[in-house]
Amino acid sequence: MNHQAALTSYIAAFVAELVKNGVENAVVSPGSRSTPMAMVMAEHPDLNIHIHVDERSAAFFALGLAKASKQPVVLLCTSGTAAANYFPAIVEAFYSRVPLIVLTADRPHELRDVGAPQAIDQIRLYGHHVKWFVEMAPPESSEEMIRYARTVCARAAAAAKRAPSGPVHLNFPFREPLIPLLDQEDLFLSHEREERYVKVQTGEYTLSQDEFAEIAETISKTENGIIICGPLEEEMFAGEVVKLAQKLKFPILADPLSQLRSGNHDGAYIIDTYDTILKNKKALQELKPEVVIRFGAMPVSKPLSIFLKEHAHARQFVIDGGAGWRDQGLVSTDMIYCHETLFCSALLPLLMENKNDTYFSLWRSLNEITRECLQEINQTETLSEGKLFSQLSKMLPEGSLLFVGNSMPIRDLDTFFHFNQKSFKIMANRGANGIDGVVSTALGAASISQPAYLIVGDLTFFHDLNGLIASKLYDINLTVLLINNNGGGIFSFLPQSEHQKNFERLFGTPLDIQFEHSIRMFGGHYDLIEDWNHLSSSLARSLENKGLNVLEITTKRDENVQEHRDLTNAVSREISRFLEGEYR
């Protein structure tokens, strides 16, 4: 069998198996060395191919597709620095546990490390930031090598999906000629096993009944406990954890990415202002828990981290279905590797009901006071960043996907986005919390879930401007709420802001650009928001406009930091007054 025929069979077997293992989307960047894989993929009727010239954006776009679809997404690029451009998104996928199957085309062995063009060392290119690496065998079409291609594919998909999900990397050496033979009718047919080659059942971590019983006994002994839910995306989790809270009378401190701050579950136990409450020193002390049960990744709130450290004496359970070590304060007493929803449902029948809701009531009262005080932000007529986040749940339609930038947006969401019964899907890149690739991740997610909104600052938006091309080329509807405070807003909250000498140069970093031009280039609709009414009408219109809508809201960094400080101080005074008995 000749080279091209062997190349074709080997790759077709691999691609067929990809689809059989649940892969629906592939993001492909143009290149020469990857030609055979790209051409074969494009022949598969059940694989959606998305083309993206900039590999950095491509990889984040794939990350967004995988986050929203909860299925592994394939990435394909040519050899050389193309593959290096994937690195930021791969790192993010690794830490945020998103399944990606990264395919890099490579020169064959005889063209490596001899100065051949676009040849770099692609072996373990992403180091420790992928779950599995395979240097693929050169294409052959013996029965054994076809089995090999199919098996590696099934393993790669399983490795990407199995808890904790994450990226895997397969490096394919391809020799010229690179053109596959595509005139076969049964290109993707497996003659040996029609259905699929291997079915991999990846399972979930769980504990024994005895271990659950022991945990239930410990928890049942205490009356003052809290449940903390960090970033987590499990469909059945909200319902189960709320039942746990009800039985235990434990408040649920719910991170904005826990998916618990909105939805039709019981909101009575949801505490959504702990970030503000715990900035009050007295509250931080008095809300002393005996037990903490924590799910999901580390919440965004720094005061919450301090609170957990402050109460290191408490029994702190960390439940992690991905078997990691999510405990930056080093305060956990019990690290439990168990699927989060399984944990809740297994524990529930074993728990004694807590009749004492004193501790919970204190949290609830503080939460109500704080929510009310934070509503003050809505009194302002100016376009304030805080008010914007406070209005989000009202302004955005039921069922929206809301993608949130890092730095200030996620923190403002934490402060101002309170429990509501709309079913929002809230997402952010919280694996490594970068400001890179956010636009592309949001667009990838938006191509799965509609209507979709991105709320993001100017530096983050700038960092991934190229990503906007996807909205143009693939008509993806996304409305961007662009908060332009002309620089890095978060630094105004950090100690360096007191050292003015080089502050604007090193940290403020104003770009002084008119984003409107770029939006026009990518064929988007653009509105410079003038006031709150304008924002409402623009948001309404954005639902009708197809493609990209960018609503730019300009704010001032110094006014923003002042507004936040004034508000936090005002709330803190109320909390102190309450704790000192005035309201009791």
**Positions 413 through 452 that interact with a copy of itself (CB under 8 A):** 432-434, 436-437
Alpha-helical segments (H) within 162-287: 209-220, 237-248, 274-277, 281-286
Q: Determine the 3-state secondary structure of 28 from DSSP.
A: strand
Amino acid, res. 493: F
Site size toward a copy of itself, by CB under 8 A = 91
Alpha-helical segments (H) within 375-437: 385-395, 408-416
Nearer of residues 31 and 263 to a copy of itself, judged by Cβ: 31
* Among 204, 223, 327, 559, contact with a copy of itself (rule: CB under 8 A): 327
Count of other CB atoms within 10 angstroms of residue 121: 9
**Using the rule CB under 8 A, is 499 a contact of a copy of itself?**
yes
Q: Say how far apart CA 252 and CA 235 lie, in whole Å.
A: 17
**Using the rule CB under 8 A, is 518 a contact of a copy of itself?**
yes
Phi, psi of 405 (to 5 degrees): -70, 160
| Closest approach of a copy of itself to the CB of residue 11, in Å | 14
Subset of residues 95 to 114 that bind a copy of itself, contact rule: CB under 8 A = 95, 110-111, 113-114
State the binding string over 351-380 for a copy of itself (x if CB under 8 A, else -).
------------------------------
**Using the rule CB under 8 A, is 67 a contact of a copy of itself?**
no
**Using the rule CB under 8 A, is 474 a contact of a copy of itself?**
no
| Closest approach of a copy of itself to the CB of residue 543, in Å | 25
| Closest approach of a copy of itself to the CB of residue 502, in Å | 4
Q: Say how far apart CA 554 and CA 551 lie, in whole Å.
A: 10
* Among 132, 148, 337, 462, contact with a copy of itself (rule: CB under 8 A): 462
Which two three-digit tokens encode residue 143? 């029965």
**Using the rule CB under 8 A, is 528 a contact of a copy of itself?**
no
**Using the rule CB under 8 A, is 26 a contact of a copy of itself?**
no
* Among 152, 238, 297, 338, contact with a copy of itself (rule: CB under 8 A): 297
Amino acid, res. 518: S
How buried is 335 (Cβ within 10 angstroms: 0-12 exposed, 13-18 middle, 19+ buried)?
middle
Count of other CB atoms within 10 angstroms of residue 553: 21
**Using the rule CB under 8 A, is 284 a contact of a copy of itself?**
no
Count of other CB atoms within 10 angstroms of residue 183: 7
Count of other CB atoms within 10 angstroms of residue 286: 12
Subset of residues 127 to 156 that bind a copy of itself, contact rule: CB under 8 A = 127-129
Q: Which stretch binds a copy of itself (CB under 8 A): 203-211, 212-220, 346-354, 460-468?
A: 460-468
**Using the rule CB under 8 A, is 328 a contact of a copy of itself?**
yes
Q: Say how far apart CA 485 and CA 169 lie, in whole Å.
A: 39
* Among 142, 264, 382, 502, contact with a copy of itself (rule: CB under 8 A): 502
**Using the rule CB under 8 A, is 51 a contact of a copy of itself?**
yes
| Closest approach of a copy of itself to the CB of residue 380, in Å | 28
Q: How far is CA 234 from the centre of its chain?
A: 13
**244-263 as b/e: b if 16+ CB within 10 A:** bbbbbbbbbbbbbbbbbbbb
Q: Which stretch binds a copy of itself (CB under 8 A): 126-134, 275-283, 352-360, 544-552?
A: 126-134
Length of the chain: 584
Nearer of residues 435 and 553 to a copy of itself, judged by Cβ: 435
| Closest approach of a copy of itself to the CB of residue 265, in Å | 25
- Identify which of 92, 325, 347, 86 has the alpha carbon closest to the alpha carbon of residue 227: 347
Q: Which residue has the tokens 């998103």?
A: 98
SS3 letters across 339-357: CHHHHHHHHHHHCCCCCCC
**Using the rule CB under 8 A, is 28 a contact of a copy of itself?**
yes
Q: Which stretch binds a copy of itself (CB under 8 A): 33-41, 184-192, 196-204, 307-315?
A: 33-41
* Among 465, 536, 554, 556, contact with a copy of itself (rule: CB under 8 A): 465
Nearer of residues 139 and 263 to a copy of itself, judged by Cβ: 139
Strand partners, 551: 481, 527
**Using the rule CB under 8 A, is 513 a contact of a copy of itself?**
yes
**Using the rule CB under 8 A, is 382 a contact of a copy of itself?**
no
371 contact partners, CB below 8 Å, separation of at least 6: 272, 273, 418
